[in-house]
Every structure is written in structure tokens, then in C-alpha cells.
Copies of this chain bind each other. A is one copy, B any other.
Amino acid sequence: PAAADALAAAARSAGATIGILVELDVGMRRTGVQTPGAALALAGHVAAQPGLRLDGVMFFPGHVWEKPDEQGAPLRAVDALLGETLALWRKGGLEAPIVSGGSTPTAFQSHLVTCQTEIRPGTYVYNDMNCVTGGYGVTLDDCAARVVCTVVSDAVPGQVVVDAGTKTLTSDRCHPAPDSGHGHVVGLPGARVARLSEEHGMVDVTRCDRTPRVGERLRIVPNHICPCVNLQDRVYWNEAGDVRPLPVDARGKVV
């Protein structure tokens, strides 16, 4: 309610109206009101504020990491919670034209949350190794982004070092594999990005049939593409061979 009041005051002073979605926590335990009753109370508060317009409900089923064929139970629980919330609202004379949810792991099971009107899968834009190893209906061929890096050292036997470390790939591990390395080297079977320091990636090539040369370019599909793109000033967009740089507009916009 405090945030709603602040938004309402700002809207009124600007002579504007701000559309509001009430966030309901469906299991992520992060943000959002904790019960359908609390959602109703907040929705009523919003609807009564000049300057605000109650548009509906948002939620994020980011706690659902099961494989698609095991998502039925958790997603039906989400659906039930939303259904209960919307029933309360209707009983209270409130409407929710927007019910916004969805995540990348649950994207292909979105139909199980029957009342949602939009999904917001983020990783889905590029996909990444988390999507592949999670088995969310995604293969390596569906991963659109690669980190192109250069072999800078082959000093240690059985290893090459590339100029991509945590400042490029992030230190995010891959779910659900416990020892998944730090990305998948495309076209070099057996290679494993075993260890990262900030500017360096140590690639174990003991199980490869060749050792890449110093100067050779390697292409890595990262574990988690979201913070990885955030580390770049630009990405290179390849559309049918037409390659052009695209600035990452939101990069560095963390404060």
C-alpha cells in the first residue's frame, strides 16, 4: 500500500494515470503479496486511489524448475491460487483483465495456468545451457547466442585457456547438473569449460580428439544468457548472414 500511495501521488501530480498489476507470490518467496486475501486488500486499495487504474494480477512461477512432464502438479497449484484470487476479486466487484505470468522453464506448459492472459519468458529470447540441460523442450540448436572467444594459451597440457572468464560468462552454474562446467563449447566434443577466473576460461580438452591452437576462435553457449548479455556493451545480430552490432541498451542500468 505504501508503494501504491507513492505511485498515486506521483501520477496525480503529473496529471497522469498509472495502470497497476498486483503481484501475487505463487511460490517464489521473493516479492508479491502472500495470499489471495492480501491480493484482494491491495487491489481494493489500488482501485480506490485516484491516479491509479487496477489492471490485474502479475505472478512469476520461477520456482518451477521441474522437467515439463513433471510441471503439472506445481502449475495446477499456481492455477488454483490465481483462480481463488480472481474469484475473490469478482466477489468484491474488481476485475483483472490482465493476468501476467510465465517463465522460460514453464513456457511450453503455459496452458496449464488457465487464467493467464500473457506470459513473460525471458531467457527464451536466446535460450541457454540451463534450458537445454533442464529439458524444457530446447536443444542446442535452439540456443541463439554464442560467446565468441579466442584461445590465448595452451601452456598447460590437456588444457587451453580462452579470453572469456566470469566477466564474460558470469560464474553462474548450470541447473540441474551439479558439475556442469561454465558453458558448452560448440563443435569441440569432449571439451569442458572447467574453471573460470575473471578474464580467463580454462577448457579441459583431455577428452577431445584435438587441441585448439592459440589464436583459434571458440564458440561457447553460456549457462545463463541473461546476466551474460548484461556484461556486453553490444551483441552481434546475425540474420541470414547479415551481421550487425546491436547495443545492449539496459547494460549498466542497475542503479
Cβ 8 A contact of A30, one of B2, B202, B252: B202
Instruction: For the complex, give the distance between the alpha carbons of A203 and B227 in Å.
Output: 20
Please give, as numbers and ranges, the residues of chain B lying within 8 Å of A214 by CB-CB distance.
2-3
Please give, as numbers and ranges, the residues of chain B lying within 8 Å of A157 by CB-CB distance.
34
Cβ 8 A contact of A231, one of B29, B62, B159, B254: B254
Instruction: For the complex, give the distance between the alpha carbons of A29 and B153 in Å.
Output: 11
Cβ 8 A contact of A33, one of B30, B155, B253: B155
Stretch at the interface among A129-137, A164-172, A183-191: A164-172
Instruction: For the complex, give the distance between the alpha carbons of A245 and B8 in Å.
Output: 32
Most buried by B among A170, A230, A254: A254
CB distance B30 to A153 under 8 Å?
A: yes
Instruction: For the complex, give the distance between the alpha carbons of A172 and B197 in Å.
Output: 11
CB distance A31 to B254 under 8 Å?
A: no
CB distance A231 to B202 under 8 Å?
A: no
Taking CB as reference atom, which chain B residue is nearest A164? B254
Known pairs A30-B161, A31-B155. 5 more at Cβ < 8 A?
Answer: A30-B156, A167-B227, A167-B254, A231-B231, A233-B252
